[in-house]
Amino acid sequence: MARRLAAPLHLEPVSPLAAWARHLAVFAMIAAIVSIIIVRFGFLEIRPALATFLGALACAGLSILVALAGFTAIWRNGSRGMSVIFAALLLDALILAYPAYLAVQFYRLPRIYDVTTDPIDPPRFEALARLRGGDGANAAAYAGLYSAEQQQMAYPDIEPVSLDVAPQKAYDVTLDLITKRRWRIVDARPPQPRREGHIEAVARSPVMGFRDDVVVRVMADGEGSRIDLRSSSRYFEHDLGANAARVTRLIDDINEAVDAAAKPAKKAQPAAKSVQPGKRAPKR
């Protein structure tokens, strides 16, 4: 009886499931990149663009399921495609890693979108108020007592900034830091004898570029000054900790900048030669 020779490895067919897993992973990667570009440059409204991104995540999840099925098929019939499956799973991991981290933040952190150093009398949006409250955006008014309680439990270290410098200096330092962050400054009014300093700016999230609105209030506090900050997401009711992180970093940078400016410049001065009484100092 003639024996059937095994086909060379390079002639073995690639598992169709492995090929489909790769196709889905590549499509998910392209869809995710396109959705990010759409959001950052405002080609579509925020919700349709976000739906595209969620669709990309769903394709990545489906690719993982198909890859697992392909792995089982290859294990049973010995067809090729393991490298294809590993490549698909690597793409899926790249797509899903950051959203998975955000999902953990969603369940771990409080469901708030408005963070301020002064929940009793928070700084108010003025120039940016017209961009909030319509088309599904969050209202310009502060989120209220529930948000304040949740913030206190999750971020107890967020407090007003008290500085031993004049309000104008505090305003200049804060405005300089905001400018260096490349936030879009919408309104900037320096403090006056009977008027508080006021800064409004728009920050963007690092990946999707979601717009978060920031307002700063600078006022006199005795012989020094006090700065109150507020950062509020324009969309969605959960900020995943972004606003608290933004306020905390800005507070730390303000304190560091003021402390650095307060340190006297150390200049090396030559020691003076002593001259004994009754003797003239030698001519140079």
Q: Could you tell me the CATH number of the domain that includes residue 131?
A: 3.30.530.50
**Do both 126 and 104 map to the same domain?**
no
**Do both 93 and 143 map to the same domain?**
no
Residue 191 is assigned to a structural domain of this protein: yes
Q: Which domain holds residue 26?
A: 14-108
**Do both 102 and 178 map to the same domain?**
no
Residue 5 is assigned to a structural domain of this protein: no
**Do both 78 and 170 map to the same domain?**
no
**Do both 174 and 214 map to the same domain?**
yes
Which pLDDT band holds residue 111 (cuts at 50, 70, 90)?
very high
pTM confidence score: 0.77
How high does pLDDT run on average in the chain? Answer: 86
**Do both 237 and 119 map to the same domain?**
yes
pLDDT score of 267 more than 90: no
pLDDT of residue 12: 62
pLDDT score of 269 more than 90: no
pLDDT score of 3 more than 70: no
**Do both 87 and 144 map to the same domain?**
no
**Do both 20 and 119 map to the same domain?**
no
pLDDT of residue 242: 94
Rounded CA gap, 167 and 80, in Å?
71
Residue 280 is assigned to a structural domain of this protein: no
> Which of 60, 81, 108 is the last residue in one of the domains?
108
User: Do the bridges between strand 161-163 and strand 224-233 make them parallel or antiparallel, or are there none, so unpaired?
Assistant: antiparallel
Number of domains composing the chain: 2
> Which of 86, 108, 130 is the last residue in one of the domains?
108
134 vs 160 pLDDT, higher one: 160
Residue 61 is assigned to a structural domain of this protein: yes
pLDDT score of 177 more than 90: yes
Which range (85-89, 108-112, 136-140, 201-205) has the least confidence?
136-140
**Do both 121 and 244 map to the same domain?**
yes
